[in-house]
Amino acid sequence: MRTGKIIRETRETAIDLTINLDGRGMSDIDTGIGFFDHMLTLLAAHGRMDLVVGCNGDIEVDGHHSIEDIGIALGLAVKEALGDKRGIQRYGTFFLPMDESLVMVSLDISGRPFLVYDAGGSMAPMIGNYDTELTEEFLRAFAFNAGITLHVKVMYGTNSHHKVEAIFKALGHALRTAVKIDPETAGEVPSTKGLL
């Protein structure tokens, strides 16, 4: 099993996170931010990864520190679980429709972290106690700490809940494809350089 575990404590957050890339999509999430719990649950389910996240953060200030730091921890855990990346498919792209919204996520487990994020216009500032601006902060923290090139684009949509939810679901599917072991190249690093 490809697993990663990160315990990260700062003056703003205390996070205990475990991921199993070869799981069944089970999750146990408690961040103190209800909508974000829902998004991480969806990420795990659609990525077929088992994910446990506990976070005690300064959400009395706002959700920024918790959401960004969980992105950092998740990225580090995925990187740990991937090891030397032998046999992975490396690339994943997924288009996900949710009612009136359509989202594209495309990623490369490249070792070269980058984020391109296009929210497709305005979003409601808040969904429950979740600040929608923090979607980009989470994605950046995740991509840069996992060593992933990540492109996220909301093609269109009007409902902010649908757009953010489609992002997390599509990310799960794209990541599931990219981390999957290709039986034809199971012992090889998927790069002409021989290193990712």
User: What are the residue ranges spanned by the domains of the chain?
Assistant: 3-185
- For range 88-104, the mean pLDDT: 98
Which residue, chain included where needed, has tokens 């909301």? 154
pLDDT category at 128 given cuts 50, 70, 90 is very high
Q: Which residues pair with 30 in a beta bridge?
A: 54
pTM listed for this prediction: 0.97
| pLDDT at position 188 | 86
CA distance 128 to 13: 21
Structural fold of domain 3-185: Ribosomal Protein S5; domain 2 (3.30.230)
Beta bridge partners of 18: 5, 52
Average pLDDT in the chain: 96
184 DSSP assignment: G
Q: Burial, 166: exposed, middle or buried (Cβ in 10 Å; 0-12, 13-18, 19+)?
A: buried
Beta carbons of 54 and 15 less than 8 angstroms apart: yes
Q: Residue 101 and residue 2: Cα distance in Å, rounded?
A: 33
Tens of pLDDT, residue by residue over 23-68, are 999 999 999 999 999 999 999 999 999 999 999 999 999 999 999 9
H-assigned helices in the chain: 34-47, 64-82, 134-146, 160-179
- Per-residue pLDDT, 80: 98
Could you tell me the two tokens for 109? Answer: 């487990």
Residues near 21 by beta carbon (within 8 Å), at least 6 away in sequence: 1, 2, 3, 49, 78, 81, 82, 179
